[in-house]
Amino acid sequence: MRSDQMKKGIERAPHRSLLKALTYTDEELNRPIIGIANSANEVIPGHKHLGDIAEAVKAGVRMAGGTPMEFSTIGVCDGIAMGHRGMKYSLPSRELIADSVEIMGTAYPLDGIVSVCDCDKIVPGMMMAMLRLNIPAILVSGGPMLAGRIDSRAIDLITVFEGVGARASNKMSDEALRQLENEACPGCGSCSGMFTANSMNCLSEALGLSLPGNGTVPAVMAKRLRLAKTSGMKIMELVAKDIKPRDIATGKAFENAIAVEMALGSSTNTVLHLPAIANEAGIKLGLNLFNEISERTPNLCRISPAGEQHLEDLDAAGGIPAVMSELNKKGLLHTQLITATGVTVKENIRAARNLDPKVIHPIDSPYSPDGGLSILFGNLAPDGAVVKKSAVDKSMFVHEGPARVFDSEEEAMKAIMGRKIKKGDVVVIRYEGPKGGPGMREMLGPTSAIAGVGLDRDTALITDGRFSGGTRGAAIGHVSPEAQEGGVIAVVKEGDRIRIDIPGKSLELLVDREEIEKRLAKWQRPDYKVKEGYLYRYAREVTSASTGAVFKKD
């Protein structure tokens, strides 16, 4: 066993003595040691209950003959960090989480690891660590929050964000906004729509790194704890068979994940996280691959914010296995791949059924014949930009309008809330990328405010920053190269015409090439906005959004 490095032989008597101070017996130490990386805390609604999830995992490990050892990681709630300095730390926290799990999994030579997590950057950070360590591993999420309710209407966190814009434009009273605030988030779990956390938990199933149900079983259900116990037992099987993450998350497995992503119409942030996770296994996921898979993969689901359903509805309809079963009817998946269940994708979805065609459209009657995300290229985004096509009104699929240029989220929010943005405008928010932000803030505030004031079907928003999975409307993010790196977005001027063509996958600044080159020649790189601490180190080391915003390898 790998753990023998710290517990076997005469020379390890001091090590055993320290472990016995933790109350472990000789019998426990003779068993495989399973690390439980638990990101539980009391500042994220999706993580408050993870102590219970971890206890269930540990019970499963013990039932299957292993010894669990729990340790913790940090975590940031994007919703609570939104709109202030804290959001600069959200994406950078992904790298710290991966590093911390790597450190613990190496300082203590574990035989296997179970990652217990739930929310935005914690899930991909855990999966990055799993592939980096490459010891038997499985991911267990805390599950999605239930949708809130007002009368018969399902609501969620995005309803509240959009309510802020509605209140600012006097379309909603203080009392109505307070009711949304009180009812939208009814309890623990990751926010209930197809936002980043739930998108990544669903894609962990598609990658094969978690058990079926991991992405959709609600946090409050007993089934969630049973799933955690089963995962604890299953890690022991993976250890016995020496099935490691890189055996599971192969290039073809990432193709499966992208196909499921397109069927779901998941968060644009997945286009940051999947390449970053793949990078840990030496797999390059170019942005063109996302478009190639999108072109052949129909969009089957419209979960909030793209539609009215929530994760609990997707779970009741059969969950990710049912989505994969629909895709497999057209041969759109690689089904012979091994997964964390110990068997293949084909075996995992053999008994899956689509129990609600209103939630999961049948493969022969999809919402659209292509996927829910699109990567756009053009002179404004030579290395790519991403849009959640499934959440864009069709009237905005092709749009041309004047640029309204802002050098920060705060400037843009002030203009939106001050009713200075008009129908047809293309709001450009720059210097919010990985380096320029720094930290590539998630800007749910501006997109929700635009929706709240009723301009989401008339106004586009383009940024080198990123958006929440809860964003809807013609919101195009991850523009690469970013402004801080001298991308063309840095030289867009107020009033320049910008053309968006989502079906044509293009994003163009309608200024002639010679003029763009003149502007770039005069452009001077600004200083980093932050010059100390972790963010300063992050800004110097992080790469482009088009490569997953990972750290430089040299």
Look up 192 and say whether it is catalytic.
no
pLDDT band at 453 (very low <50, low <70, confident <90, very high): confident
**Residues 52-88: tens digit of each pLDDT:** 999 999 999 999 999 999 999 999 999 999 888 999 9
- Residue 447: closest CA among 489, 412, 399, 411: 412
Residue 166 has pLDDT above 80, yes or no: yes
Which strands sit side by side in the sheet containing 67-72, from one edge to the other? Answer: 67-72, 33-38, 112-117, 137-141
| C-alpha to C-alpha distances, 468 to 245, 267, 473, nearest whole angstrom | 28, 7, 12
Q: Who has greater pLDDT, 552 or 352?
A: 352
CB 507 within 8 A of CB 385: yes
Across 349-363, average pLDDT = 97
Residue percentage of the chain with pLDDT more than 70 = 100
Per DSSP, the three-state class of 149 is strand
pLDDT at 300 over 90: yes
Query: Does position 228 have pLDDT exceeding 80, yes or no?
Result: yes
CB 536 within 8 A of CB 500: no
Nearest to 507 by CA among 391, 390, 403, 371: 403
Q: How confident is the model at residue 14 (pLDDT cuts 50, 70, 90)?
A: very high
Arithmetic mean of pLDDT, 267-277:
95
Q: How far apart are CA 220 and CA 9, in angstroms?
A: 45
Which distant-in-sequence residues (6+ apart) come within 8 Å of 451 by Cβ? 162, 165, 472, 473
pLDDT at 137: 98
Residue that wins the pLDDT comparison between 122 and 306:
122
Asked whether the predicted pLDDT for residue 93 surpasses 90, the reply is: yes
Question: Encoding tokens for residue 391?
Answer: 């959440």
Mean pLDDT of 283-290: 95
The whole-number pLDDT of residue 168 equals 82
pLDDT at 444 over 90: no
Determine the residue type at 492. Answer: V
Q: Which two tokens stand for residue 29?
A: 């130490």
CA distance 169 to 265: 30
Look at residue 369 and tell me whether its pLDDT is greater than 90: yes
Q: What is the pTM of this model?
A: 0.95
pLDDT at 5: 96
**What pLDDT, on a 0 to 100 scale, did the predictor assign at position 445?**
81
Q: What's residue 162's pLDDT?
A: 86
Segment 376-392 shows an average pLDDT of 95
Give pLDDT, residue 523. Answer: 97
- 341: enclosing H helix or E strand: none
N- to C-terminal Cα distance for the chain? 33
Q: What is the mean pLDDT of residues 268-289?
A: 95
In the predicted structure, residue 554 carries a pLDDT above the cut 80:
no
Percent of the chain with pLDDT over 90: 90
Marked catalytic residue, from 141, 325, 468, 480: 468
CA angle 224, 276, 128 (to 5 degrees): 50
How sure is the predictor about 454, in pLDDT bands with cuts at 50, 70 and 90? confident
pLDDT exceeds 80 at position 10? yes
3-state secondary structure of 381: strand
What are the pLDDT digits (tens) for 465-519? 998 777 788 999 999 999 999 999 999 999 999 999 999 999 999 999 999 999 9
For residue 205, the model assigns a pLDDT of 98
Q: Are 139 and 214 in contact (CB under 8 A)?
A: yes
* pLDDT tens readout for residues 23-54: 999 999 999 999 999 999 999 999 999 999 99
Checking if the pLDDT of 337 tops 80, the result is: yes
What the block records as the tokens of 495 is 């009033």
